[in-house]
Amino acid sequence: MDCKLELPSMVTASAVRVSSLFSSSGVSSFHPLHQPEVSTGVISLSIPNISYRGLLSSPAAGRRDFLRGIALASVLLIKSSDSKAREVEVGSYLPLFSSDPSFVLFRASPSDTPALRAGNVQPYEFILPPSWKQTRIANILSGNYCQPKCAEPWVEVKFEDEKQGKVQVVASPLIRLTNKPNATIEDIGSPEKVIASLGPFVTGNTYDSDELLETSIEKHGNQTYYSYVLETPYALTGSHNLAKATAKGSTVVLFVASANDKQWPASQETLKAMVDSFQI
């Protein structure tokens, strides 16, 4: 994916018209420090399977048309990235899980998410079937806009399979659940208290305590995890949800596996294995 602007070296104007690029009225650029001058050149925009090329001429049109063109280009670029994220099966690039080669291992690194790069979340890992695909997360949900000090939870990564369900990692600032710095999950409270706060991020809308079927506590080294089985008939994520939560540093991390009624009978064991494998 690239976006390239080619202009002759003699061109000094910063306001130009692009003919037949994004609209019949043309597209122009604007610079507040210069006045428009006559100029010619070529602009080209390359997107997978999409190519636009237009001739730059004078005088410049309005800044509004230019911004309209940039907005359209942004939409096209976002759609292209979204499409590419859904095309690639994780088995094509993730290593096999050594204990069970029917799964692959996803181990998050700073290159994967804004929060990991900012140091707000410690690296985590989990297994998933090789046929699953990673899906794109909207910027407003990714926490990219608020790092390193986000006040609300955000989605770290998300994977799905049309036949089996979906999983996602949700991170929440510790301060939303307790004022104690570097608190453990036990410091925050019981499994029931934690899920009461994080439940809406499992379901995608609302949480009712009657939806909680099972809870359990497990330890891996010094790290404690709370696990949950929920039946959520009104959830946006799906009518069946499994979750696992822990706290480390300044963040509570929640791993969620979801399926609808059609997916659940065949995929519940796979989803349980994925949730069991999650650790930070």
How does DSSP assign 1-57, residue by residue? -EEEEE--TT---S--EETTSSSTT-EE---TTS------EEEEEEETTEEEEEEEE
Cα–Cα dist 111/89, whole Å: 19
Per-residue model confidence as pLDDT tens digits over 231-263: 999 999 999 999 999 999 999 999 999 999 999
pLDDT at 15: 37
Tokens standing for 133?
A: 């695909």
What's the token pair of residue 129?
């079937």
Domain chopping of the chain, boundaries: 92-277
Q: Choose among 200, 211, 114: nearest CA to 157.
A: 114
Residue range 92-277 forms a domain whose CATH class is alpha beta
Return the half-sphere exposure (C-beta side, CA atoms, 13 A cut-off) of residue 186: 6
Provide the mean pLDDT of the chain: 79
Q: What pLDDT sits at residue 63?
A: 54
Q: Give the residue-averaged pLDDT of 123-150.
A: 92
